[in-house]
Every structure is written in structure tokens, then in C-alpha cells.
């Protein structure tokens, strides 16, 4: 596939993340207004779909109002046939061949520099998986220090845990350092205080658009079709709180304090030209998981900026195709026991780490639990400090065009001072 030329010049610029080939879905408000609008990004603009719908310009494509409440959930609920039909209409209208619609659409283009971006959908539930083989090996080697760093079940099923939808925030929202119980191996008893090992996790999140019924597994062949699109995701992690509490049930408070997602949902159809085969298996999978879904050739980067620095420093570069399990496999496994999936469910991929040190997707791995600190902006980092800012980015590169995810950013704020009678030492 090559670049689809647009009558919007900035969408044709070399390296533009938002050409007609992409059209990622977001929610925006003008900077002097509070009303949220559903938009797609095109070049340096956001096309206001809420305004188009109100003006009757979408009535032949959409039979009901879906963009009025400032989220993409109602549109996602219309299903894959409508998603494709509407995406095709938008691409035709915004392409060079669709310049006849310029007069209708141009007045509804808002410069991206003039908008504030919000969560693009209402998150129904959040499940985070552990689908990166190299990450699992690294974490097992750091924590368990054995010759068998990954659990026996890992190569047979996608391991995951149910997270918190209530603390999922859009890129740019500050993250407060969590408080909790800490206990290091040389300490006899746990203590209370701010996390001392605050970390990030580089992930991609799958946004579910087709629900399922409680008690009924989904057909694995349909799993991929149920995914509306993908977002950048950073599942912030307090490694010390997590380590003490995760015996034996897994993450709880060490993960529940904040998860950041990017403001743009890149639709699955936009990524199809970048599909990659699933990796070679270490063990055969059961039939409901075997060969389900795909991975994508998406370049992913992590940049860190200490508080005293003006510029970000890249600390990791990897690719979505480094995962072991696809999002469709995660979805099929999630629903196989009869769990009801909802429109707006979010499935985190788990940390995406490549084979080499510069491709690891967390500080826990990059600095190897503090034993190999990174040099960033003239200082060292083993874990995140107050004032540090982190930025994730993702882009799939085609023949003369790019499919960009924008960025997913967050800055660490100090732990909240006690206001409920808990003394923090």
C-alpha cells in the first residue's frame, strides 16, 4: 500500500503520522470550550465528526446518532461492517479524489494545536496481560534467579490480571507516586511509604468493539474482528509494592494507581498492511488459541526527561512484533470460560521487550533492578524520580507514508502528603 493523497496538504507531508491511510479516532475540545467532540486526525487537523453528524452530513452512512456523547463507544457498538463503511467514506471524502467535499468538510477542520485531547473512549474494564516472552524471561531472572525464569503455564496460555479502569488516564495526565507497603529481602517486617522503585511499562492496548454474552465463549475465528483498534499504553508499576504483595495472587496496589493511554485509537484496518506472523511456538497451543490473530510491524520508542532537562533522551526502541501472544489470542482466552466482554474493554499487551538491552520495555529490565543504572541527561536512573517525564511513541512505516499513534506522556508527581492520619516517615 502507498500513500493515499489528500486535498489537505499537511496530510501528504513526508513522515506525517496522520495521513488518509490512518485517520485515528480521538476526542477533543477546543481550548476555550468544555464540550467534547469525536474527531479523526488528518494532517495537522482534527475533523469534527460531532459537527458533521449534527449537520446531517453523515445520515447516509450512520443510521443513528453515535458521536453526541463525546466518546467512541456508541460508534464501536455499531460493529465491523459499519466501521469499514464509515472509514471508507472518510477516506474517499478526504482523499485527493474527494476534493468535491472540500467545501462541506473544510469548515469542520480544527488545528490540532487548538484542541485539548481527552480519553477517546469510556473504558469498561481493563485487563493487563503478560505476553512478551523476553520480558517474562527478564523479570523471572531478576526476581526468581532460577534456571526456569518463566512459569510452566506461560507458553500454554496468555497470563493476565484484572486491573482498574477507574485510574486509566489520557496522555499528559500527571501520575502521583503511590504509597504502600514495602519490604525488601533484608528487612524483617514491612514498612509504609512512597514507592522507591517506580517504573513504566511499554505496551499496546487493544480496544474491544464487539461484546460477548456471559457464559458463552467467543469463536476464536472472530476474535480479531472484535478489536476496534489499538492505543499506546503505559501501565505504571511500583515494583517494590508489587513484589511484596504479589505472593501468590499477582499485581494489585502496585499497578492500580495509574495507567496512561494515548489519545488516538488507530483502527485495526489501518494496521492490516503491517501484519506480521505469530512467533515460533515453544509449545503447541490448544486449538482455541492456535494461530489466532496477528502481530504488527509497529516501531515503539520510550523517551525519558529528568526534571532538570529540556530534552528527552531515548532509552528504548523495540517493535510490537516482539510479543509472543496476539491481542486476539488474549481476547479468545479471556472469554473462553464465559467471561462477558463489553464494548470499551481494554486489553493491555503486557510489556514489549526485544531481545537486546536497548529494546527492553521497562526500567526494571533496562537498569536490571538498579544494578546497571542508565545515564540520562547527565544523571543516572534506576527507577523514576519525582519530576521525571516519560513519553511513549509508536509508528508503522509504509511505502511513503506512516501510521502514527501520537505520544503517550506522563510526569511523576511526589507522593501525596498524609491527610487521613497516616504518618509517613
Active site residues: 135
Cβ 14 vs Cβ 21: under 8 Å: no
DSSP H helices, 116-256, are 133-143, 239-245, 253-256
The beta-strand segments (E) located in 112-216 are 115-118, 126-129, 160-162, 168-170, 175-176, 179-182, 191-194, 198-199, 202-208
Pairing between strand 295-296 and 275-276? antiparallel
Within 10 Å of residue 12's Cβ, how many Cβ atoms?
A: 18
For residue 101, how far is the Cα from the chain centroid?
33
Check residue 244 and report its DSSP letter. H
CA distance 204 to 209: 16
Of 290, 347, 303, 402, nearest to 20 by C-alpha is 402
Residue 280 DSSP class? P
- Do 87 and 58 meet the contact criterion of CB atoms below 8 Å apart? no
Which residues lie below 8 Å from residue 211, measured CB to CB, with a gap of 6+?
77, 340, 341, 342, 343
Annotate 64-104 with DSSP letters as a single string.
S--STTSSSHHHHTT-HHHHHHHHHHHHHHHBGGGGGGHHH
Distance (Å, rounded) from C-alpha 11 to C-alpha 22? Answer: 10
Q: Work out the angle at residue 266's Cα, subtended by the Cα atoms of residues 260 and 267, and round it to the nearest 5 degrees.
A: 130
**Phi-psi category of 221—alpha, beta or left, where left has phi over 0 and alpha has psi -120 to 50?**
alpha
Give the helix ranges, DSSP H, for 272-421: 327-336, 363-366
Characterize the bridge pairing of strands 379-381 and 168-170. Answer: unpaired
Amino acid at each position: 500500500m502507498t500513500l493515499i493523497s489528500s486535498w489537505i496538504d499537511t496530510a501528504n507531508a513526508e513522515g506525517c503520522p496522520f495521513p488518509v491511510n490512518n485517520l485515528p479516532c480521538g476526542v477533543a475540545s477546543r481550548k476555550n470550550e468544555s464540550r467534547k467532540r469525536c474527531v479523526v486526525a488528518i494532517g495537522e487537523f482534527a475533523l469534527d465528526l460531532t459537527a458533521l453528524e449534527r449537520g446531517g452530513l453523515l445520515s447516509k452512512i450512520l443510521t443513528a446518532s453515535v458521536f453526541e456523547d463525546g466518546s467512541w463507544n456508541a460508534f464501536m457498538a455499531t460493529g465491523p461492517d459499519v466501521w469499514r463503511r464509515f472509514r471508507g467514506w472518510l477516506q474517499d471524502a478526504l482523499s485527493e479524489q474527494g476534493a468535491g467535499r472540500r467545501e462541506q468538510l473544510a469548515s469542520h477542520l480544527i488545528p490540532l494545536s487548538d484542541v485539548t485531547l481527552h480519553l477517546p473512549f469510556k473504558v469498561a474494564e481493563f485487563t493487563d496481560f503478560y505476553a512478551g516472552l523476553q520480558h517474562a524471561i527478564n523479570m523471572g531472572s531478576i526476581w526468581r534467579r532460577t534456571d526456569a525464569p518463566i512459569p510452566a503455564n506461560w507458553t500454554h496460555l496468555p497470563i493476565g490480571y484484572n486491573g482498574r479502569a477507574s485510574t486509566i488516564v489520557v496522555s499528559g495526565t500527571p501520575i502521583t507516586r503511590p504509597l504502600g507497603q514495602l519490604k525488601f529481602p533484608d528487612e524483617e517486617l514491612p514498612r509504609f511509604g512512597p514507592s522507591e522503585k517506580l517504573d513504566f511499562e511499554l505496551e499496546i492496548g487493544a480496544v474491544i468493539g464487539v461484546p460477548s454474552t456471559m457464559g458463552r465463549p467467543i469463536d476464536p475465528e472472530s476474535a480479531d474482528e472484535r478489536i476496534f483498534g489499538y492505543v499506546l499504553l503505559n501501565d505504571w508499576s511500583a515494583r517494590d509494592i508489587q513484589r511484596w504483595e504479589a505472593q501468590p495472587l499477582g499485581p494489585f496496589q502496585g499497578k492500580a494507581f495509574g495507567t496512561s493511554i494515548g489519545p488516538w485509537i488507530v483502527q485495526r484496518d489501518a494496521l492490516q498492511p503491517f501484519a506480521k506472523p505469530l512467533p515460533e511456538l515453544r509449545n503447541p497451543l490448544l486449538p482455541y488459541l492456535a494461530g489466532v490473530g496477528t502481530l504488527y510491524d509497529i516501531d515503539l520508542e520510550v523517551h525519558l526527561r529528568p526534571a532538570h532537562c529540556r530534552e528527552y533522551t531515548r532509552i528504548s526502541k523495540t517493535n510490537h512484533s516482539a510479543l509472543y501472544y496476539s491481542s486476539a489470542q488474549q481476547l479468545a482466552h479471556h472469554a473462553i470460560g464465559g467471561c462477558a466482554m463489553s464494548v470499551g474493554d481494554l486489553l493491555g499487551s503486557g510489556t514489549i521487550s526485544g531481545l537486546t538491552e536497548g529494546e527492553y520495555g521497562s526500567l526494571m529490565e533496562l537498569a536490571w533492578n538498579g544494578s546497571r543504572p542508565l545515564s540520562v541527561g547527565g544523571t543516572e536512573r534506576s527507577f523514576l524520580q519525582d519530576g521525571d517525564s516519560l513519553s511513549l511513541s509508536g509508528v508503522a512505516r509504509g511505502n511513503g507514508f506512516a501510521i502514527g499513534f501520537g505520544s503517550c506522556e506522563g510526569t511523576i508527581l511526589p507522593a501525596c502528603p498524609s491527610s487521613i492520619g497516616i504518618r509517613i516517615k
